[in-house]
Structure formats: C-alpha cells, structure tokens
Amino acid sequence: MNAKVRFELSTMMFLEYYIWGTWFVAMGRYLTDSLNATGGEIGTIYALAWIGAMISPFFVGSISDRYFAAQKVNGVLHIVGGAVLYFLSATQSIGAFYWGMLFYSILFMPTIALTNAIAMNQSSDVAKDFPLLRVLGTIAWIVSNVVVGTLDIGNTNLIFIIPAVISVGFGIYSFFLPDTPPNPNQASVLKNFSNALVMFKDRSYTVFFIGSVLLCIPLSFYYSYANVFLANGAGLPNTETIMAILGQGSEVFFMLALPFFLKRWGVRNILLLGMGAWVIRYLMFKFGLDSGVWMLYIGVVLHGICYDFFFATGQIYTDLKAPKGIKSAAQGLITFATYGVGLTIGSKFGGLVAEAYTTNDVINWSGLWLVPAAIAGVLLVIFLLLFRDDKTDQPVQV
C-alpha cells in the first residue's frame, strides 16, 4: 500500500470514528441536562442507536456490495446523515428525537462496514495493514471525547452540530477515496447467516454465543449511563475526557497486549477474566460514590479488559472455530447478534431499570449499578460451568 492511499484511508478511519465518538458518549448527559429525558427515555434512544446494527448487514451485504461502489454509498450516507445530526441538534422534542436517532442509526451503522471494506480492498496484506488503519478510529474516538470534555460541551447541542458538519465534509471526501467496485457475485446476507449456523453444532461455541448476547445487557448500561453517572451522580469534571483517556486508552493497551495474554492463558481463561472484569467494574461504580473517587476511575480503566478480553477475544475465538469458507459469515452473525440484537435489548432493559431506580427525577445509582453487576456475575458462573472447550484452535466439524 503506497503512502498516498494509506494517508487517504487513515483519514477516512479517523473521520468515521470522530463523528461517532463526538455524540455517542455525551448523548446521555445531553438528553438529561438539555431535554430533561428520563432514564427510560435514554435507554430507548440508545436502543434505537443500535437498531442500525441489525439492519446494516442486510443493506450492505444484499444491496451495496452487489450494485454500488462502496465509497459512493459511504458518501451519500454521510451527507444525509449530517443533515439528520443537525436535526437532532435542533429538536427539543423527545418524540422527534426518537425518530431522528432511528433514522440516523440506519444511515450511520452501514458506514462502519463500508469503511472496513474500502480499507481492506486496497490492501494486499489485510492482517498487516488493517489494524494500523483501524487504530486511527480508536485514536479519533479518544480525541473527539477529549475535545468535548475540554470544551465542556457534553450537555450542549454542539455534540451534534460538530459531527454534522464533519459528516457532510466526510461524505464529499468519500467520493474521492480509492475505488471499491461492487461484486455482483456477493452472496446474500441471509445465505451467509444460514451457512454460519453450522457453528452451533459445537456445544461450547453455542454457550459462548448465547453468553455474548446476554453480556451485552451489562455492556449497554455502561454506554447509556456511565457518562451521566460520572458527571451528574459523582460530579466529576470533563467526564468525556476521563472516559476517553482512561477507558479507550486502556482499550488500546489491552488490544495490543491481547496476543500475549491469549498465548499465555488461552481463550477460556481470557474470556472468564473479561466477564469477571464487568462484575468488578460495576461494583466499583456502586461503592465508589461513598468509598472514594479512585474506585470510579478504576471502573473506567477496566473498560480495556471488559471489552478486549471478552468481545475482541470472542471475535478471535469465532475465527478459530469457523470452518474455512464461512469465517466472514460467522463474524457477521456474531456481530449482528451482539451489536444488533444484544445491545438493542440491553439498552431498552437498562432504561426500564433506570426508571425503576428513579425517585423524584433522581436516579439511585448504587441500586442501578448492582443490576448489571449481578447479571454479569450470574453469566460468569454459568460460563465457568458450561464452557469447556479444550480445542479452541480446532474449527467446528461440518
């Protein structure tokens, strides 16, 4: 990959995740402070933000991949998406915000797969080139939240106006990205998903798959309420900056260290450590308000272990277990199930829990965090008892 193409693709990845990072982390705080949203309403809106992850595989796999160049589709989606983000910045109606977020998620979520496809299409060595390009996305997420935290705009509509402007610019820029032509012979997503069902012949993989979906419930609590909790519940300043530097920073570290830990401890132990970290994180949040702010910081720092040791390891485990020829289909299925179904259900459930622990518009944070801690703890015990895969490097037998 020559330097010019690498620069273009690195810029693409940075813009993609800068747009997402600017509004996603701060949105719960904005909804609370500026639109007076309840905990249930916040949960519903975050659930709507994930619905696009269920729809996008069908759109990208069945339509875009077969009929249109990926960079042009990416451009159109981001230009229209910028207009929708501006609408979200202007509306004062929760009902209108619901519809706007649903529409935006349907527009934005496919662009994650599209940018990945554009980057991979230009590489002759995806294993070498793609991680170096994708890490720009994590860096962008950190930078975007540092900017939001430093400027203290997390509870203002600037978290939508800024990415709206960038999204339109990125959309125009996309038309000048390296060409990624359509593939008329691309199999449909339904066909790929049906092929991937062979994975469930393996008992341990089935346990892992179900556990991954269910673990998205406690994961959704963090996405929806951690920033609101740290800012309004704990009164910490620049919470977006704290979550970016400590949370995403630890994610980068543990992602780079993951190959070492996997080789040393194996997939099963790493998955168990990841699940255990979710329990510890939420207990830190539960007791941190009374026992010391250092516990809250530890809860944020644990994001790297929580995410990388379970979800990133799970993607690797899926690749190891998938027979040759259906690896992409298997990845598509686990992504659909977790980011789509799991986080949508989890966000809605989190909203119901938040409503249950709200009295006179004040959330009982200690009680709320105990719920995802308990769910993660139960899943950890079940996983410990049922997940017994001693041959994690051997594919499922077709």
CA atoms within 13 A on the CB side of 147: 15
The pLDDT score that the predictor gives to residue 11 is 96
Q: Secondary structure of the chain: what % helix, strand, coil (to 5)?
A: 80, 0, 15
Task: Report whether 123 contacts 1 (CB < 8 A).
Answer: yes
pLDDT at residue 16 is higher than 80: yes
What kind and span of H or E run contains 92?
none
pLDDT exceeding 70 applies to what percent of the chain? Answer: 92
The domain segmentation of the chain, as residue ranges, is 1-186, 188-398
- Say how far apart CA 128 and CA 130 lie, in whole Å: 6
pLDDT at residue 25 is higher than 70: yes
Reported as a single tens digit per residue, the pLDDT across 108-129 is: 988 887 888 788 788 777 657 7
Give the CATH fold of the 1-186 domain.
Growth Hormone; Chain: A; (1.20.1250)
The pLDDT score that the predictor gives to residue 187 is 64
Reported as a single tens digit per residue, the pLDDT across 76-104 is: 999 999 999 999 999 999 999 999 999 99
Choice among 52-61, 156-165, 298-307 with the minimum mean pLDDT: 52-61
Give the CATH fold of the 188-398 domain.
Growth Hormone; Chain: A; (1.20.1250)
pLDDT at residue 381 is higher than 80: yes
**Cα–Cα separations (whole angstroms), residue 228 to 38, 90, 159, 294:** 11, 21, 15, 18
The pLDDT score that the predictor gives to residue 64 is 65
The pLDDT score that the predictor gives to residue 357 is 95
pLDDT at residue 393 is higher than 70: no
Reported as a single tens digit per residue, the pLDDT across 167-221 is: 999 999 999 999 988 777 666 666 767 877 888 888 889 999 999 999 999 999 9
pTM value is: 0.84
Choice among 34-38, 285-289, 322-326 with the minimum mean pLDDT: 322-326
Q: What DSSP line would sit under 316-328, residue for residue? A: HHHHHHSPTT-HH
- Please indicate whether the domains covering 1-186 and 188-398 agree at the CATH topology level: yes
